[in-house]
Amino acid sequence: MDDPTNLMMVTGLLVLDKPLDVRRFRSVIERRLLTFARFRRKVVEAPFGFGQPRWEDDRHFDLDAHLHRVALPPPGGQSELQTLVGDLMSTPLDASKPLWQLHVVEGYEGGSAVISRLHHCIADGIALIQLLLSLTDPSPRGGSRKRAAPPPDGRGGGLLEGAFSLLDPVKALGLAQVGAASALTLGRIIALPPDPATSLKGPLGVTKRAAWSKVIPLDDVKAAGRAAGATVNDVLIAAATGALRRYLEGRGEDVDGLEVRAAVPVNLRPIERGLELGNSFGLVFLQLPIGISEPRRRLAELKVRMDRIKASTEAIVAFGVLTAIGVVPKQVHPLAIDFFGSKASLVLTNVPGPREPLYLAGSKIVNNMFWVPQSGRMGLGISILSYAGGVMVGVGADAGLVPDPDAIVRGFEAELERLLKPLAKGPSRARARSRRRA
């Protein structure tokens, strides 16, 4: 489903506390990443676009074609790094080679950074994040952090397992009930009207931009959630909704009563298969109450909506539709993209990361962020990622539709502060002000 205006890449960023030992990093890649066949294989399209693409070994594979070293222009701060990330998000991967690249950014704020670009055909965003984290260690000297395992060979389970389960009448009844509910859910998805027209949607261009927030203490977000009887996820999505309200108001758009949908990827991969490659995600469409100005009332309404979605089969139904799209001729893909793209105005992703600090080739990871691709006419993606007791938000945007993603980041920080303000200021809040931006 690649398109020049919407490259199907997952882009990631790791910010390190000191210069990266590139030789050691190269060894880590060879020992941990290249054990996956897909990182040595390229995608070969079917003749004339009919039929499915196939994986083919790259007989001329060269790690140097995938591992790059770059330097930022002066002064080499966050603004320059954001520009570089946006440029790389706008640049297609070389289709004649395996579809991934790692860029080591030297000298960033006295340390370094690593930008990863991996095509969605290798795996979905959640799997790719887990895979990249499997390159890390729990200490500078290395350690026994769980490694990613090559994908299964497909034996066991699958269709036969489902067929045999039908011999159990209790399971059969349960499957029938799920099937009926899924059919109703699919009908509701199809019947959803297109999202209202705002500056967040429109024809996409080839230039993308990226921005990200400061680190916010996760304990403060948890406290705000407890005070409202909500989850951390509810609080963060409420802040993102408030940020969109601020942004649209700032552009002179009417937000009274406005609601826009976010397409929210949902991980359907069992916990024991968390490090497998491939795509195992569904989508849910979350209605964001942009029209509610009071932050706590907005949070309460979002909690009700999130609870309703959690009890639905929407993600599973969307996974089935996406799987079906994957096996139809390439010429049909634009129709499917337009269908899903018309239902929402942005992609919203929230991924819980490791709770403890990690190290990459001996360098401590200070912060990290990721951005997923959009689809259709959606020009905005918001990513939320927690790590080592903190949480950050990243914004990836089409430059023609959302030329200033930093404004949404600032809005997120301000709206989260409104939710946290009623709480007593603790030591973690003081630490937050002292931590540097990524």
pLDDT for res 282: 61
pLDDT for res 362: 97
Instruction: Please list the residues that pair with 11 across neighbouring strands.
Output: 117, 371
CA 347 to chain centre: 8
Q: List the structure tokens of 394.
A: 């990243």
pLDDT for res 438: 52
Strands 112-119 and 100-106, how do they pair?
A: antiparallel
Q: What's the CA gap between 325 and 179, in Å, rounded? A: 19
pLDDT for res 389: 96
Higher pLDDT, 14 or 434: 14
- SS3 call for 13: strand
Higher pLDDT, 228 or 430: 228
DSSP classification of residue 285: E
Instruction: Please list the residues that pair with 370 across neighbouring strands.
Output: 12
Query: 402-432: per-residue pLDDT in tens?
Result: 999 999 999 999 999 999 988 745 544 444 4
φ, ψ at 316 (rounded to 5°): -65, -40
pLDDT for res 425: 55
Topology alike, domains 9-133 and 193-356+367-434: yes
Count of beta carbons in the 10 Å neighbourhood of residue 436: 11
pLDDT for res 158: 29
**Span 29-58, average pLDDT:** 88
**Span 328-346, average pLDDT:** 62
pLDDT for res 68: 98
pLDDT for res 172: 38
In this predicted structure, the answer to whether residue 168 has a pLDDT above a threshold of 70 is: no
pLDDT for res 166: 33
The highest-level CATH class for domain 9-133 is alpha beta
Query: 229-282: per-residue pLDDT in tens?
Result: 999 999 999 999 999 999 999 999 999 999 999 988 775 544 444 444 444 446
CATH number listed for the domain at residues 193-356+367-434:
3.30.559.30
Lowest-confidence segment of 186-200, 252-266, 283-297, 392-406 by average pLDDT: 186-200
Whole-prediction pTM: 0.82
- 140-143 — which CB contacts under 8 Å span 24+ positions? 140/359, 140/362, 140/363, 140/364, 141/362
Give the side-chain half-sphere CA count within 13 A for 99.
Answer: 22
Helix 405-420 to helix 218-228 angle, to the nearest 10 degrees? 60
Query: 70-121: per-residue pLDDT in tens?
Result: 999 999 999 999 999 999 999 999 999 999 999 999 999 999 999 999 998 8
DSSP classification of residue 109: G
Strands (E), 53-167: 54-57, 67-71, 100-106, 112-119
CA 105 vs CA 67, 83, 209, 288, 343: distances in Å: 11, 13, 18, 36, 38
Longest dimension (CA), the chain: 69
DSSP classification of residue 30: I
- ∠ CA 93-95-100 to the nearest 5 degrees? 45
pLDDT for res 422: 82
Q: For residues 352-377, b (16+ Cβ closer than 10 Å) or e, as one string?
A: ebbeeebbbbbbbbbbbbbbbbbbbb
CA 88 vs CA 223, 249, 287, 409: distances in Å: 37, 30, 31, 20
Contact 370, 10 (CB under 8 A): yes
- SS3 call for 381: strand
In this predicted structure, the answer to whether residue 3 has a pLDDT above a threshold of 90 is: no
pLDDT for res 169: 40
Strands 100-106 and 67-71, how do they pair?
A: parallel
Instruction: Band the pLDDT of 436: cuts 50, 70, 90.
Output: very low
User: Cβ neighbours of residue 55 under 8 Å, at least 6 residues apart?
Assistant: 37, 38, 41, 42, 43, 44
Residue spans per domain, the chain: 9-133, 193-356+367-434
Higher pLDDT, 427 or 288: 288
pLDDT mean across residues, the chain: 81
**Span 311-315, average pLDDT:** 55
pLDDT for res 1: 59
